[in-house]
A and B are shown apart, each in its own frame.
Chain A
Amino acid sequence: MSWDIAIQRTINNNVPRVYKILKEHPYILDLAKSLREAKMKVLSNLEEYIEQTLESVKRTGGNAYFVKDANEAKEIVGKIVGKGKTVVMGKSMVAYELGIRKYLKSLGNEVWETDLGEFLIQLSDEPPSHIIAPAIHMTKESVAKLLKEKLGFDVSENSTHEELVRKVREFLRNKFLSADVGITGANAVAADVGSIVLVENEGNIRMSTVVPPIHIAIAGVEKIVPTLQDAMNEALVQAAYAGLYPPTYVNVTSGPSSTGDIEMKRVSPAHGPKEFHLILVDNGRIKASKDEILREALLCIRCGRCHLHCPIYRVLDGSWGDPPYSGPMGAMWSYILNKDSKPAMYCTHSGNCKEVCPMKINIPKVLEYIKYLGNKSA
């Protein structure tokens, strides 16, 4: 029952807001169209763009790596972080996909998710129920209960939304200041200049990328776009279709911090991190990019809009798809990453998802194909 209430509130809050944003800012539709073309260009020639991106990041003074799977990713992150450190994470679904948080904890690090929703997911040890609002399944009352039980916060079911957020902010503030490493994802990675772009509203990503001396960004290779302009477009389009426009913060990171303020000699670091690392992750993406139909799934910009228009997601209590990916996009991604065709079998080709997708992915068609592949291998 709690899910029904939570999802209905979310739909009523979000769906009309996205309609309004798109109506008031029609240029978003043009940006989405050109973004699709830009992303398709990369996906048709992914390996070359990966090479270009790795070189571009190195030119900015950053370190760049390409990893095939979760084990390779963990090895690199583990080497950079070490043990006994404090790590703050800005919501990264790829980091969840690879199991980075739990791995770093197992090495003896203190690790905190700093996106509020992801922080609640960490405390409750539940899988995220939505790609951009991972704690969508929790009501205000259940959040209060969780914070009281797990961290001893002085809150109750009568606490307001504002009080709950303030308590978490106070708790995490010290973690940001004492953190040795910040780990984020990336909404987009610009192949031409090696910059990453991150869009957010809480401010946690800005702090995670700037305050700790080391910043690690982990991104799927499908996040590469040809230019920084495309990357900025992706941030704006993602924010608009997620229903949060204008976004409060868009962060561009191009290598470690630096200054040229003494005799214009450029030295690094300045106030921000001394090290920047970008880890580009394959984990099945390159193989999918070579299949004309599955390639479409890689266009997903993680706006989470398809979820809120899908009858299956609605009635399955947010647990449709292999975590952290859920909903119609999660049904596609469960196959791409894990060869799991079961979530696709549940698609009723309602078709709302393809109507609202900013990248015009024909999701029911991709899922029909995954059903076919799953049936064939059964």
Chain B
Amino acid sequence: MLGKLIYENLQKYGFPYPLDKKICSGWAKDIPKNGPTIIYTSCMHQTASLSDVYSRFIPYAEKLSSLSFLGKFIKPKKEELDRAYLVLNKIANLLKKNGIEFGYLYEDEPYSGAILLELGYLDEFKSHAKQVYEFFKNRGVKKIITVDPHTHNALTRYSEFIQFDIEVVNYLELIKDAKGVTNDTFVIHDSCLYSRFLGLRDSYRNIINKSGIKIVEDELVTGKDTSYCCGSPIKPINPELSEKIAKARAEQLTRLSKNVLVVCPMCYANLSKYAENIKDLAEVIE
């Protein structure tokens, strides 16, 4: 069972699959360790580019006695990791510029459990959430700043499963002022979770509009109830279907503009194969 395998990996490696945790923390240099308010990456930006590789292993994973060897040789490509680190640093700088103080847990940072929730392994998600909550409590964490939609979704749903009293806020809610660093016109690929589940669709649209970046909208492509998924969440179940959705979505978007703007690392990973000029929001504002 995939859920059991993921849960076991979470116990062994602190991540859904074997991973050198230095990859997760390598982006941060001068952020204080711990603190009542923390920036929380759940290692999503850093590992998004690996989702293709690991989804190909899933059909065989249950037959292998150990996956630990995978963690030793599967690493993100240098340019992909550098880019993810740049995005995280830019998000951290945007927060600082907006007067937010925060710490970071570095290699101790746990994984949110998002993949268990999204694949419907709700019992495993609940057990994992309990462990994550206790860990945060022991570290004295009072407020968590999330930087991607999957983690934000998982954390804001903890209270449906466990008693959870830590404040969760997304970085998009904290950035009041940012200016654009590009003159290009973009089409926004909305994050399904931010846009239709977490009420943050206007947060990033407001940031973009205030930043002076020009965007192009089309009711049937970027509307609240018409903008499609990037295909990423289905990857562990059916990689081919995931690719088909990504390709169809990229075609829709690039008909409006060759420049695509995303707000989620998984969307970036899946769509960047089919849309050449694609940027995370953090890459085009400062």
Contact residues of A with B, CB < 8 Å? 11-12, 15-16, 19, 309, 311-312, 314-316, 344-346, 348-352, 354-356, 364, 368-372, 374-376, 378
Contact = CB atoms under 8 A, between A and B. Distances in A.
Interface size class of B (residues with CB under 8 A): 20 to 34
B119 A351 contact: no
Contacts of A348: 192, 229, 231-234, 245
B220 A351 contact: no
A355 B119 contact: no
Nearest to B228: A311
Point out which of A350, A356, A364, A370 has the most chain B C-beta atoms below 10 A from its C-beta: A350
B245 A311 contact: yes
B226 A309 contact: yes
Given A315-B245, A315-B248, A348-B232, 9 more contacts: A16-B219, A19-B219, A311-B248, A311-B249, A312-B229, A345-B120, A346-B237, A349-B229, A372-B121
Nearest to A305: B225
B242 to A, nearest CB: 8
B181 interface: no
A256 B192 CA distance: 51
Interface string B116-144: 01111111000000000000000000000
B3 A312 contact: no
B244 interface: yes
B70 to A, nearest CB: 23
A206 B238 CA distance: 44
Interface majority SS (helix, strand, loop, mixed), chain A: helix
B241 A314 contact: no
A159 B71 CA distance: 61
B233 A355 contact: no
B120 A350 contact: no
Contacts of B195: 351
Cβ-closest 8 pairs across A and B: A371-B120, A351-B196, A355-B225, A350-B229, A311-B228, A348-B233, A372-B120, A348-B229
B226 A349 contact: no
Contact of A311 (B120, B219, B229, B237): B229
Contacts of A345: 120, 237
A352 B249 contact: no
A158 to B, nearest CB: 30
19 contacts: A311-B228, A311-B249, A345-B120, A346-B237, A346-B238, A346-B241, A348-B232, A349-B233, A350-B192, A351-B192, A351-B195, A352-B196, A352-B226, A355-B196, A371-B120, A372-B120, A375-B119, A375-B120, A376-B123
